[in-house]
Each structure stands twice: as structure tokens, then as C-alpha cells.
Amino acid sequence: MDRSNNLATQLVAPGTGDAIYAFAAKMFPICRSITGDGVRETLRLIAEHISLDVHEMPTGASVFDWTIPKEWNIRDAYIRDARGEKIVDFANSNLHVMSYSVPVNARLSLTDLKKRIHTLPKQPDLIPYRTSYYSEDWGFCMTHRQLESLKDETYEVVIDSSLADGALTYAEHLHRGETEEEILLSAHTCHPSLANDNCSAVALLTLLAERIGAIKTRYSYRFLFTPGTIGAIAWLSENDDKVGRIKHGLVLAGVGDRGAPTYKRSRNGNREIDRVLTHALAQTGRPATILDFSPYGYNERQFCSPGFDLSVGLFQRSLWGSFPEYHTSADNLDFIRPDSLEDSYRIIANAIDILEGNRIYRNTLPKCEPQLGKRGLYAAIANDADATAKNMAMLWLLNLSDGTHSLLDIAERGKIPFQTIKSTAALLAREGLLK
């Protein structure tokens, strides 16, 4: 393989998984939501690595059929028992407070308190993650075991939060390539202390953006860090005139758990990004799940809404909702691993390499096969470990390079790795057999 030609090898460096993990761990403690200072603090950490364009959309602004909500911030929250002991403390886990809880300062009987508490009876040792973004409410989350241990007495509940006019914050980073055609890479920034969902993907994309900055690329790359749903809607609403530049895209979420990779196709299902991810996953030689599009999941729901229908797929490891740690306190820093993060990163880097290198050539001698032996082409590759594959790659390239088949088409048809097809095409182009 012509390694200098392989962009993926330029993007991967030793310790990639550890670097992504360390950054995810740094963001993990912050209490994020769809708005508020937790999001701003997260973006400030990302901006220590890459330049960020931060946007603040004011409360009340219309974005398509939606309205930017009030901004939520929280300083403290707790429940005290009759002896004044804090039995639940926001300082220990930000999952203890339902996101977007309005301020409260009250004394409640056990019966009334229980109406405000969310637990997971089937996972009695875990704290659930709950939100109430679009209806004003408040609540606490705790382990079911703790709920069952509560005595029949009076409790003091305090949520020191604010829900007021403010803004929704999102950010983007653009790496300019040779063309204005863009690859959109996005991750959601609205979850509090959940490591896989989605500190993992925010950290992965930050490192990728940092490294791609040092590389000359054909495409421009737009990295988007927005809250789920309303953030993507806000960005699309603000960039309605520019989305035509987006040629390919990926939403990343939950890229650090031990599970095998999952790819969910774009709405169309057969766009280049879908074929590229299918090829990149097959190249790992390990199990992977490829799913058809469904209108549920992450921000691909907005990018793939019919008015946009962008070529955007979803990459993650275990499918969201399919594992017991999902949206619980068990989605912590033990749940994600450097080697899984690195594996996800390598797959994305390889996909970028394929997208960057996927071109269409034309055979300059299409009438019968050109005589490869007299050009020394068999000898040129005779010592390569993958000489057989390269021989076949030459024949497939010469046969299918009729101006309509891309290198990826040929790789798929010949069942040959894309990088072998790409480097062999470069060899044939140097010999004047392809242009």
C-alpha cells in the first residue's frame, strides 16, 4: 500500500484512544443541558483544541416549527431528611436533578416526595437520566434502592436553578479544503455526566478536527457541536442557504463502549457515505451492524428530514437504548475505553480517506487490454505482499474506468480494499493508462 498516500495514517497517531479518553473525562463532570452555562463551559474546553465559532440563539427565536426555549442553569440541589442530612446531593451527581427542573424550596411528606422521584426499579443501583425540556416541571432521580429505604418523615427539597430568557448555544469549526464541498461531522452536547452519550463523540470529533487541520484535504470539513434536536434545528434554520454544500455527513454518538460498531444509513440508504461506511466497516474484518434509516435517534433525524434529505448517517458502537447502561449513572468513565474510542476514530479516519480518494478515471486504451507486461507493470508490483490483489485491481480498474465508475464502485465490484484500488489507480495514471 502506498502509505504516504493514505490520509487515514496521517490522522492516526500513537495514543489516539488515550487522548480521546482524557478529553472525554475532562468534560464528563460538567452539567450540560440543551441550554446554559454547562454547554458554554464544554465549548470553552473544545476551544482549547480548535478554533470555534460560537453562536447564541436568543430565547423565543423561531427555528422552523420550533421556538428556542428559555435558558436553564443550576447551581445546587439537594434533599435533606428530618435530621438535616443531605440524602441526595447534586454535587455528587448531576443526574440527581431532572434536567430543566424549575426552582423549588419546599418541605414535603414522603408520599408527596415520591411523586417527584424517578428511579429504575429493574436496575435498583443506578440513577436514571431524565429531562423535561418543553414542559415546566421539576424532579429528582435516585437509585431505586435508596427510594425504598426512605423513612416516612418530612423532607426538605431545594433546587437552586433558573429558567429564564437567555440563549441556546452551539458551535462549529470549519476546516477549509480545496473545494467548498463539505463533509459535516456532528455530535450532540446536551447530556450531563454521561460518558458514552456523548462526551465520547464530542472528544473524538475535537481530536479529529485538531489533526485534520494539519492536512490538505479535497473537501472542507464542518464540525458541529449542538444540543440534540433543537440545536440541529437551529443550525439548519440559520444555514438553510448553505446546506447545499454538504456532500456527505456523519452524526457521531456513543463511540466509546465495548460493543461492536453500528452504522445507520442515511434516509436515502444508498448514498456514497452509506457505501463508504459499509466498506470501511468490512475492512476491519470484525463484526459490525448496519441498519437502515429510521426517523428516531440523534440529530440525523433533522439532517435527514425530507426538506433536507442530506447524505448523513449515524455512527456509534452499541445501538442507543440497547444496553443497560444507556441513560443511567452506569454510563460513566468506566463504561468507555481508550481502545474502543481509538477503533471508532480509525474507522472514521478510514471513511474520510475513502471519501477523499474516491474519484472517477477513464481508461486511455479501452479497446482490448493494454499490454501490462511490456510496461513493466506486473514486475512493478511483483514483490508486494498483496501482488495478487494488485494484479486484479489493475484489471478491474482498466475494465471499469469508463468515466462512469468511481474507485469505490470498482473496489466493491472487485471485492478489493479501497486503498489497494486507489494506489493501483495512481500507478496506472503515472503510466498514462488512466486519466
Binding span for Zn ion by CB under 5 A among 190-198, 242-250, 331-339, 370-378: 190-198
Cβ atoms of 39 and 202 within 8 Å: the answer is no
**Which residue lies nearer to Zn ion by CB, 197 or 274?**
197
For Zn ion, the closer CB: 198 or 350: 198
Which one, 197 or 257, has the nearer CB to Zn ion? 197
Footprint of Zn ion on residues 221-240 (CB under 5 A)? none
Amino acid at 13: A
Task: Please name which of 356, 362, 360, 359 lies closest in space to residue 435, comparing C-alpha atoms.
Answer: 362
- Indicate the Cα dihedral angle 29, 34, 36, 39, nearest 10°: 50
Three-state secondary structure string covering 66-95: EECCCEEEEEEEEEECCCCCEEEECCCCHH
Q: Which is nearer to Zn ion, 303 or 320 (CB)?
A: 320
Tell me whether residue 38 or residue 177 sits nearer to Zn ion (CB atom): 38
We find the least distance from the C-beta atom of residue 327 to Zn ion, in angstroms, to be 6
- Least Å distance between CB 323 and Zn ion? 12
The residue range among 12-20, 192-200, 208-216, 285-293 that interacts with Zn ion, by the rule CB under 5 A, is 192-200
Q: Which of residues 194-213 bind Zn ion (CB under 5 A)?
A: 197
**How many residues interact with Zn ion (rule CB under 5 A)?**
1
Nearest to 409 by CA among 434, 399, 263, 249: 399
> What is 92-161 written as a DSSP string?
T-GGGB-BTBPPEEEEEEHHHHHTTEE--TTSTT--B--B-SSS-B--EE--HHHHHH--SSEEEEEEEE
Which residues within the stretch 299-328 sit at the binding site for Zn ion (CB under 5 A)? none
**What φ, ψ does residue 146 adopt, rounded to 5°?**
-70, -40
In Å, how far are 5, 199, 263 from 353, measured between CA atoms?
A: 9, 25, 17
Q: How far apart are CA 342 and CA 355, in angstroms?
A: 20
Q: Please give the residues from 156 up to 185 whose contact with Zn ion meets the rule CB under 5 A.
A: none
Minimum Å gap between C-beta 90 and Zn ion is 20
Min dist. Cβ of residue 225 to Zn ion (A): 15
CA angle 331, 332, 338 (to 5 degrees): 105
User: Nearer to Zn ion by C-beta: 332 or 364?
Assistant: 332
In the complex, least distance from residue 97 CB atom to Zn ion, rounded to whole angstroms: 17
User: Which CB, 197 or 343, lies closer to Zn ion?
Assistant: 197
Residue nearest to Zn ion (CB): 197
> What is the smallest separation between the CB atom of 167 and Zn ion, expressed in angstroms?
22
Write down the least CB distance from residue 133 to Zn ion, Å.
13
In contact, 210 and 159? CB cutoff 8 Å: no
Neighbours of 16 (CB within 10 A): 21
- Taking the least distance from each CB to Zn ion, the nearer of 163 and 253 is 253
Shortest reach from residue 203's CB to Zn ion, in Å: 16
Burial category of 388 from C-beta neighbours within 10 Å (exposed 0-12, middle 13-18, buried 19 and up): exposed
What is the contact surface with Zn ion in residues (CB under 5 A)?
197
